[in-house]
Structure 1
Amino acid sequence: MTVRLIEAGKPADVVYAGAACLAGMLDGFEWVRSRHSLERRESVRREVLQLEKSKWNRSGHLIKFTVASLTVFDEGLGAWRRANPELTVRRPESVESIVCASSFLDMSGQYFVVLTRPEERWTRLEQFAAHLRDTALPWFASTADPEQIVQTVPDALLAAWGFAQDLIEFLVSTGHHMQAQALWNRVQEHQPAHRQAFIAGRAMAGTGEPPRWHTPEALGWSASVLDLL
């Protein structure tokens, strides 16, 4: 693969070879060309680094790709949602198993790697891999252990329009009800401005009409679910 990386001329070939080499530099990740992503699986959990080619790529002028986003899926969570539709809200089928996600562009100023010059490609990938180990991999690790999520999950994921509801549901789906309640308490502490929306979401739970996903009301809905456990 190293030879292919250095000898490739077409931008697409360089990007695909570079992505495959980058996956090999990150513990447990594989290059999934059909989805343009680097993915790591462990049991029902799937961690995804979504890649994007630059539309400005031209041989001899510029060849680069970007890590656009980070996403965690859990098949067990997806199965729980399908089995308990009354305890969750509707989501697109493609993200039925989603735990959390983040734009990598918002996390780091170094979100792309330039592979224009053949002789520099391997070194640049090694440098980029080291950066991902310092930034992306700890982000994935922050939600890997249900016992530790309350302490380790970044505040950004707990925003009213973020993934707090998904994380609470993940904890419920794995039987960690006390941790789910503790995470809800942390959300309330960090989002006092949305108290009325949380109350409205609880009220909606009583009507059987769920709020939209990724809203403060949806978090209130989740809190009412915790009351039933």
Structure 2
Amino acid sequence: MNVTQPDDLTVRLIQAEKSADVVHAGAACLAGMLDGFGWVRSRQSLERRAAGRCEVIQLAKSNRNRSGSLIKFMVASLTVFDAGLGAWRRANPELTVGRPESVESIVCAASFLDLSGQYFVVLTRPEDRPARLEQFAAHLREIALPWFAAAAEPEQAVLTAPDALLTAWGFAQDLLEFLVSTGHHAQARMLWERVRKQNSAHQQAFVAGQAMAGTGERPRWHTPEALGWSASVLELL
């Protein structure tokens, strides 16, 4: 996390020459421009934690970075984790399809490319770096932070969840479980109706998943069948 004063980071950002140092200083500066976020270099991510919730802005540097020629990094994805949801999944395995342990607490995630065409910042010229980061931070406040806010309140998820999250291979199942884990069963049923209507081409897979639930089978995570399976579980609550 950031331990250096912002003024010092700006000096480091301007004076850095190696592309890796520029990216590190730039990411640390960017975190300081976003309320509550810190730069975690080991994970190459900006992270904000509060009350068991973790919001992650995953960064990636360009493979074409060359000192003095091109230096840029991009936002690869946005992800939300919730420790309470992870604990609920561990305590109620019969209500959730299994997933890798690394994403046991996941609420939702999205590629930033699906949200914005302005997904990278160029920091090649030292004198331009602070201003370019300020512009990029403003863009993240406009696009990324509202996306995180949309997934923060379970009772609002049915209305605020972007359509891109609710595809047959997206994070609808994870959001359904988030609602169930917080006791918002009515909202979970409303979200399922929205998902079912949005993905009308996958009705057969949904029915197959519901049949699997009836026989005790467990479909793979992030499949249309898993959504149907979760819908059947929801009917029992």
Residues 1:4 and 2:4 are matched in the alignment: no
User: Is the counterpart of residue 181 in structure 1 residue 195 in structure 2?
Assistant: no
Q: What TM-score comes out, normalization by structure 2 length?
A: 0.95
Give the SS at the match of 2:47: strand
Moved >4 Å (runs of 4+): none
Alignment of 1:195-206 (within 5 A): 195-206=203-214
Local SS of the residue matching 2:154: coil
Aligned residue type for 2:102? S
- SS of 1:105's partner is helix
Match of 1:192 in 2: 200
Aligned partner letter, 1:74? D
Gaps of 5+ in 1: none
1:22 aligns with 2:24: no
The 2-side partners of 1:65 and 1:53 are apart by 4
Aligned mates of 1:59, 1:69 — CA distance in 2: 25
SS in 1 for 2:217: coil
* Cα distance, 1:106 vs structure 2: 2.1
**Map of 1:101 onto structure 2:** 109
Correspondence 1:42 to 2:50: yes
Q: Secondary structure at the match of 2:169?
A: coil
Code of the aligned partner of 2:19 = P
User: Deviation at 1:196?
Assistant: 1.5
Measure the CA separation in 1 of the matches of 2:52 and 2:200: 34
Task: Give the residue type in structure 2 aligned to 1:154.
Answer: P
1:68-96 superposed Cα distances (whole Å, 9 cap, x missing partner)? 01111111111111111111112111111
Gaps of 5+ in 2: 1-8
Aligned to 2:179: 171
**Secondary structure at 1:197 match in 2:** helix
Give the partner amino acid of 2:174: D
Q: Distance in 1 between matches of 2:40 and 2:183?
A: 31
Paired letter, 1:148 = Q
Distance 2:28 2:35 in 1: 13
Q: Structure 2: how far apart are the matches of 1:97 and 1:47?
A: 12
TM (norm. structure 1) is 0.98
